[in-house]
Amino acid sequence: MTAATGTEAAGAPRRTARPDLVGLGALVLATLILMLIGVRAVTGTAAVVALLVLLGSIVGLVVVAVAGAPDTRRQLAPYGLLKPGVLWLALFFVAPLLTLLKTSLSTLPSRFAVEAEFDWNFGNYSDAFSEFGDQFRRGFGYAALATVFCILIGYPLAYVIAFRGGRWRNLLLGLVVIPFFTSFLIRTIAWRSILADNGPIMGVLEGLRLDGVFEAVGLIDNGRILNTMWSVVGGLTYNFVPFMVLPIYVSLEKINVNLVDAAKDLYSNSVWAFVKVVLPLSLPGVFAGTLLTFIPAAGDFINAEYLGGPNTTMIGNSIQDQFLVQSNLPVAAAMSFVLMLIITIGVLVYTKFLGTEDLT
């Protein structure tokens, strides 16, 4: 009996001491190697050696999992599942971000230089604020207005689809999503044709003799709606309103209508039932939709390029110009970091007030 037991124990998979630390160590090692390669801290032969070490860590982790006991494989499984996503983010997000940070602290030796010299030049950040303050203000202002308009348009639309859509619900959702089948650029150029001086909107306003009224309230400038602030905000609203509708619809669709009926049974009218029941339960969707709308709209440059004019340029246009036209990579990188920093702080403050506990 004892010999059989010893033989069985000898053939059993070996238990690995602290497999969770082995998995974590392999994940951290692989991540650091990819980041070093991504920022070009190691090149040539050193990069080849680093890749071999990376492959060795992955193969070693697989061998440990296969040869180990079931408990070992169970503890290693989360790190194996995390590794593809973490390595992808390390190579294609963190490494470019660190490269951009290094560029933002560099200096161009001359106007025609190709490579910037890293010298901890924080003056690029002060230049970003002093020279492009108006573009920052326009970018965030236009994005905020577009976000508000998206809520005003998207919430009622999502409400109707969720509670009144019935058998047409899928069709209505399809109509909301169908603009995504067309290029963002093509949709914006189409709006340029619609808002042109001889386009349908101006034709309707002039035919109804409303162009004077719209100019009096500031929606039209010198008989034109194109190349104004409102044409840019309108383009942003149109392009990003589906990003507001879909998350709000998901939140509304999960609400049990019996809760609304219960509120009415407690002598609440439809308005107060909406305010006290539906609106609070749909706030996670409004939160998600706001982020999905405001963040890309703040950095957008397509709408301002095709629907706006020289006085409506946003920060995205200036960053594009500094990168691709002026070739001033350090200042462009600093502007990008300032934009990301302001958006991050704004999101954290917004999250603090609204909360994300129910954001699922």
Whether the per-residue pLDDT at 42 is higher than 80: the answer is: yes
CA distance 242 to 33: 39
Per-residue pLDDT band for 299 (boundaries 50, 70, 90) equals very high
Q: What are phi and psi of 224, to 5 degrees?
A: -130, 140
CA distance 253 to 247: 10
Q: What is the pLDDT of residue 326?
A: 87
Rounded to an integer, the average pLDDT of 91-116 is 87
Rounded to an integer, the average pLDDT of 205-213 is 85
Per-residue pLDDT band for 4 (boundaries 50, 70, 90) equals very low
Please name which of 74, 30, 36, 18 lies closest in space to residue 54, comparing C-alpha atoms.
30
Mean pLDDT of the chain: 87
Rounded to an integer, the average pLDDT of 277-299 is 92
Distance between alpha carbon 251 and the CA centroid of its chain, in Å?
Answer: 19
Residue 323 DSSP symbol: I
Whether the per-residue pLDDT at 118 is higher than 60: the answer is: yes
- Non-local CB neighbours of 223 within 8 Å, separated by 6+ positions: 197, 211, 215
Q: What is the pLDDT of residue 252?
A: 93
Q: What is the pLDDT of residue 17?
A: 63
Higher pLDDT, 87 or 217: 87
Whether the per-residue pLDDT at 13 is higher than 60: the answer is: no
Q: Letter for the amino acid at 146?
A: A
CA distance 297 to 312: 14
What domains can be seen in the chain, in order of their start residue? 12-104 (no CATH), 123-354 (1.10.3720.10)
Query: Collapsing DSSP states into helix, strand and coil, what is residue 24?
Result: helix
Residue % of the chain over a pLDDT of 90: 44
Q: Is the pTM of this model over 0.75?
A: yes
Per-residue pLDDT band for 7 (boundaries 50, 70, 90) equals very low
Q: What is the pLDDT of residue 355?
A: 62
